[in-house]
């Protein structure tokens, strides 16, 4: 079965066509600048050259049409016709409290996703547009929604409630939801597999460290806490996002700099994190390069980042009353060798021992701790698209 995985943003659309039997990626690509000038589609068929085409994409429906054209093109296509797409899996950012698992999309599901728009105003409307565009072009193909929040719905009340007047939860559902759930689910399950154990028997902390980052505590297969909150702004320091701060800072800075709450929110999301701290870049490679050249702010930004990750790990060891494995994933987690070593330096109290040779790995499944380490450390590349394809298959077959 061929499954098209769609990840739709407000002006972008990422796709992968996955053969569910072999789990091979037949083609992948990205449509950028949808609805603005200079729209471009980059299509990469497996085993063939990448194709880049600048062509107008006034809306997402046109983008989906171009994706289908690319997939069925005689030269750089990978399937003969639209009929060879058997199901579509859509990444949907926010499922609120309505969705604890992936679901087949029907009108009721569409309505329920729309009701979560308030919780993710930048993401959910774009996800819905992507679903509608696909439905328009492939009306008879089953579609599945896979939610970023779903895996975290097992969190107990004590982990998801904020210390705010309860009426905000009652009226507006203000609570911790968590994100990157598809990745936390996939990586925790795969970490257990690599260890030759079942996830149901382990306490695992997943450190998804990318441009956006989140950490989760997965206790016997169930998420019991995660660092992102109502929105993806809470938690560790990220590329451009602040992560946790004293909430009173917002009012303080707004007064000092004469900013509105919308402007402040923009600063917290787009101008903070390691970018704001280092004044260099949001990209960890650039910051590492600057730090290696002696840039003190870059060094301080990295130190603050590693420290925060280590603090969350400590918190989640407490939440689970122990830990068997800590898995590093996403761009930084999978590739930043010295970063993993720095974080591991904080974990000696757990009897954790990183193996410098095994840690010398990028983007590969690998146990990176010594055999006598009390906690197993792992590098586990995430694969959200494959996880979405698997969940789609499970629902449509």
Q: 95 or 333, CB closer to ligand AMP?
A: 333
**SS3 assignment, position 96:** coil
**Catalytic, out of 107, 148, 286, 355:** 148
Q: Token digits for 277? A: 């701290």
E strand or H helix at 43: strand 40-45
Which of 38, 279, 285, 397 touches ligand AMP by CB under 6 A? Answer: 285
Q: Token digits for 30? A: 């990205």
For residue 389, the number of C-alpha atoms closer than 13 Å in the C-beta half-sphere is: 23
The reply on whether position 393 binds ligand AMP by CB under 6 A is: no
CB of 138 to ligand AMP, least distance (A): 28
Which of 105, 215, 224, 332 touches ligand AMP by CB under 6 A? Answer: 332
- State how far the Cα of 222 lies from the Cα of 370, in Å rounded to an integer: 27
Q: Which residue has the tokens 């990318």?
A: 210
Q: What is the DSSP letter of 371?
A: T
The reply on whether position 330 binds ligand AMP by CB under 6 A is: yes
- State how far the Cα of 328 lies from the Cα of 227, in Å rounded to an integer: 15
The reply on whether position 284 binds ligand AMP by CB under 6 A is: yes
The reply on whether position 211 binds ligand AMP by CB under 6 A is: yes
- State how far the Cα of 336 lies from the Cα of 313, in Å rounded to an integer: 18
Q: 264 or 289, CB closer to ligand AMP?
A: 289
Q: Token digits for 116? A: 């979560």
Which of 96, 178, 239, 276 touches ligand AMP by CB under 6 A? Answer: 239
- State how far the Cα of 222 lies from the Cα of 201, in Å rounded to an integer: 11
**Percent helix, strand and coil across the chain, each to the nearest 5:** 40, 20, 40
The reply on whether position 365 binds ligand AMP by CB under 6 A is: no
The reply on whether position 9 binds ligand AMP by CB under 6 A is: no
Query: Of the listed pieces 264-272, 279-287, 294-302, 351-359, which binds ligand AMP according to CB under 6 A?
Result: 279-287
The reply on whether position 237 binds ligand AMP by CB under 6 A is: no
Which of 178, 232, 243, 331 touches ligand AMP by CB under 6 A? Answer: 331
CB of 198 to ligand AMP, least distance (A): 27
Q: Which of residues 36-55 bind ligand AMP (CB under 6 A)?
A: none
- Count other Cβ atoms within 10 Å, centred on residue 11: 16
The reply on whether position 210 binds ligand AMP by CB under 6 A is: yes
Closest residue by Cα to residue 213 from 191, 238, 240, 185: 238
The reply on whether position 232 binds ligand AMP by CB under 6 A is: no
49 in catalytic set: no
CB of 394 to ligand AMP, least distance (A): 25
Q: Could you give the maximum distance between any two Cα atoms of the chain, in Å?
A: 61
User: Which parts of this chain interact with ligand AMP (CB under 6 A)?
Assistant: 210-211, 239, 283-285, 288, 330-332, 335-336, 362
Which residues are marked as active site? Answer: 148
């Amino acid at each position: 079965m061929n499954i098209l995985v769609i990840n739709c943003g407000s002006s972008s659309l990422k796709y992968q066509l996955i053969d569910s039997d072999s789990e091979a990626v037949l083609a992948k690509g990205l449509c950028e600048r949808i609805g603005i000038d200079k729209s471009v589609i980059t299509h990469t068929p497996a085993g063939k050259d990448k194709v880049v085409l600048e062509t107008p994409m006034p809306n997402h429906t046109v983008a989906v049409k171009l994706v289908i054209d690319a997939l069925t093109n005689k030269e750089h296509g990978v399937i003969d016709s639209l009929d060879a797409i058997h199901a579509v899996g859509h990444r949907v950012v926010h499922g609120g409290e309505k969705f604890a698992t992936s679901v087949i999309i029907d009108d009721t599901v569409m309505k329920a996703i729309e009701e979560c728009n308030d919780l993710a105003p930048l993401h959910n409307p774009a996800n819905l547009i992507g679903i509608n565009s696909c439905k328009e072009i492939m009306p008879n193909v089953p579609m599945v929604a896979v939610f970023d929040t779903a895996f975290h719905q097992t969190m107990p009340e004590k982990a998801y409630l904020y210390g705010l007047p309860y009426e905000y939860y009652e009226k507006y559902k203000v609570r911790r939801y968590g994100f990157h759930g598809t990745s936390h689910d996939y990586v925790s399950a795969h970490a257990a597999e690599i260890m030759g154990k079942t996830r149901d028997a382990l306490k695992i902390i997943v450190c998804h460290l990318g441009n956006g980052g989140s950490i989760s505590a997965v206790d016997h297969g169930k998420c019991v806490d995660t660092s992102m909150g109502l929105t993806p702004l809470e938690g560790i320091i990220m590329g451009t996002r602040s992560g946790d701060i004293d909430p009173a800072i917002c009012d303080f800075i707004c007064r000092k700099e004469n900013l509105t709450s919308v402007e402040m929110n923009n600063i917290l999301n787009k101008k903070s994190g390691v970018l704001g701290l280092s004044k260099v870049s949001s990209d960890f490679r650039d910051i590492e390069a600057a730090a290696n050249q002696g840039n003190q702010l870059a060094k301080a930004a990295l130190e603050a980042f590693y420290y925060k990750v280590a603090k969350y790990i400590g918190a989640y060891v407490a939440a689970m009353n122990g830990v068997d494995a800590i898995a590093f994933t996403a761009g930084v987690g999978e590739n930043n060798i010295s970063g993993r070593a720095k974080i591991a330096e904080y974990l000696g109290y757990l009897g954790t021992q990183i193996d410098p040779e095994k840690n010398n790995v990028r983007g590969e499944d690998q146990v990176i701790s010594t055999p006598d380490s009390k906690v197993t450390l792992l590098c586990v590349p995430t694969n959200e698209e494959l996880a979405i394809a698997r969940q789609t298959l499970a629902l449509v077959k």
